[in-house]
Chain A
Amino acid sequence: MSSLVKCPHCGSRPREEFTVRGEVATPRPVAGADESIWFDHVYLRDNPRGQHREYWHHSGGCRRWLVLDRNTVTHETSNVVDASTLKAEGRA
């Protein structure tokens, strides 16, 4: 497991300082969407081999929510951004 994660606020930190929340789900379905679509959005997760976009919380550092790429084969992490950038871009 890659033991260093590059927090955009704190710099390189050990993986132990972070709490992994899980995959960045696809955009939220519209309120009246079919129940199966909501079920999929809330409960069903892919288990991809390779690049995976995830929410991580820097619980032992700046306590900011981050979004990063993790390779599920090598566990290398990259493209770490503050989660607020997704909101600013309308993707959360």
Chain B
Amino acid sequence: MRDFLLNNVSPFPAKPDANGHAAVHIAPVSAGFVIHVLGNGAPDESGLTKVLGDIAPDLGGGLRSPSPGQWFWVGDCDISQGRFAEIAGHMPAEFALSDQTHGRVRIMLSGAKVRDVLIKGTMVDLADDVFAVGASAMTMIGHIGAMITRTDVECFEIMVLRSFAESLWHELDQMAAEFNQPHGI
């Protein structure tokens, strides 16, 4: 266990709404947690869901799998590092946890034109029948690795390594620029 505190500092501009667009809204997620779950062997997701529900029923959150046997456990409440250690200590031996809250940050993209913006950067098919609400994919947006999760019909969460966040933010802002008023409506 580490013996120093990790500081969760938002990498995003102080006034995110300065980047607002008419048909697309880009917003940072400043609260919550991102925990990397690494499974050993061939653990299944329903088993993991049950384990997490038993250990930390109050946290909720969702699982996004970037790779076989690996998940990001993502939720909206803040978790102290003491609480994280407590949860990690209760995990069965086939799972290891790594707190990535300081290292992976989330951006929410929403609005009527959200898919028109995203398809400029990713090749993943975001059609309703292929990428339904709840679906997620580890992929690239331009040259930046990112995980895309559809959280609602017109709402996508982008999770990116912190050091790339500002760069990706700028890219998303540029991708959405055609929907700036008054041209984009």
Contact = CB atoms under 8 A, between A and B. Distances in A.
Interface of A: 9-10, 12-14, 16-17, 60-64, 82
Interface string B138-177: 1110000100000000000000000000000000000000
Nearest to B68: A9
29 contacts: A9-B67, A9-B68, A10-B137, A10-B138, A10-B139, A12-B125, A13-B124, A13-B139, A16-B140, A17-B139, A17-B140, A60-B138, A60-B139, A60-B140, A60-B145, A61-B66, A61-B67, A61-B137, A61-B138, A61-B139, A62-B67, A62-B68, A62-B138, A63-B66, A63-B67, A63-B138, A64-B67, A64-B68, A82-B68
Nearest to B66: A62
Contacts of B125: 12
A90 B61 CA distance: 40
Interface of B: 66-68, 123-125, 137-140, 145
Contacts of A17: 139-140
Nearest to A62: B67
Contacts of B139: 10, 13, 17, 60-61
A10 B137 CA distance: 7
Nearest to A9: B68
A54 B181 CA distance: 49
Contacts of B123: 13-14
B127 to A, nearest CB: 13
Contacts of B138: 10, 60-63
A72 B161 CA distance: 35
A49 B125 CA distance: 33
A92 B137 CA distance: 29
A10 B140 CA distance: 12
Nearest to B130: A11
Contacts of B124: 13
Contacts of A9: 67-68
A16 B123 CA distance: 10
B110 to A, nearest CB: 25
- Going nearest first, the 10 A-B pairs with the smallest beta carbon separation are A62-B67, A60-B140, A14-B123, A61-B138, A9-B68, A60-B145, A63-B67, A17-B140, A61-B139, A64-B67
A13 B66 CA distance: 14
A83 to B, nearest CB: 12
Contacts of A60: 138-140, 145
Contacts of B68: 9, 62, 64, 82
